[in-house]
Amino acid sequence: MARMFHALLFAIAAAFALAPVPATAQKAPPPAVTDIALAQLPAEARDVLQRIRKGGPYDYAKDGAVFGNREARLPAQKRGYYHEYTVKTPGERTRGARRIVMGKGGEAYYTADHYNTFRRIRE
């Protein structure tokens, strides 16, 4: 009896593994990264970028943490290539949604919506 139960479970699992993914469930490609001029950034973001270039100090303990890029919104790189920094949002009591993400190559990206979209900072 147990052997039949396991065989049935295996057959069901195999059927799901081989079933095509419905078009509505497929992952959409990430939005394209557009540019933003340094002068167009909020003053708080320009301040954070200046601090990054100087090596600190930073306002939040998590500033400088590895950014995993799990949603693949930025160009693919090995883990540890990107690091994130908080951009203060006036009136916000928490870290808020704004960040600057830096690549080891010196490239900088700004997000105002907690990693949903990014804009490459052009100086």
What confidence tens digit (pLDDT) does each residue in 71-95 have? 999 999 999 999 999 999 999 999 9
Determine which one of 6, 71, 92, 114 is catalytic. Answer: 114
Check whether 19 has a pLDDT greater than 80: no
Residue 73's nearest CA partner among 30, 107, 29 is: 30
Kindly indicate the confidence band of residue 12, based on its pLDDT and cuts at 50, 70 and 90.
low
Q: In the numeric block, which tokens belong to residue 14? A: 């195999």
Mean pLDDT of 93-115: 96
- List the CATH number of the domain containing 110: 3.10.450.30
For the question of residue 114 being annotated catalytic, the response is yes
Number of Cβ atoms within 10 Å of the Cβ of 118: 23
Does the active-site annotation cover 123? no
What's the total number of domains in the chain? Answer: 1
Candidates 71, 84, 92, 107; catalytic one:
84
Question: How far apart, in whole angstroms, are the C-alpha atoms of residue 90 and residue 5?
Answer: 59
Which tokens go with 43? 């003053």
CA–CA distance, 82 with 44 (Å, rounded to integer): 20
The model's pTM is 0.75
Residue 28 lies in a domain: no
Please check whether residue 99 lies inside any domain of the structure.
Answer: yes
4 occurs within a structural domain: no
Mean pLDDT computed over every residue of the chain: 86
Distance CA 120, CA 123 (A): 10
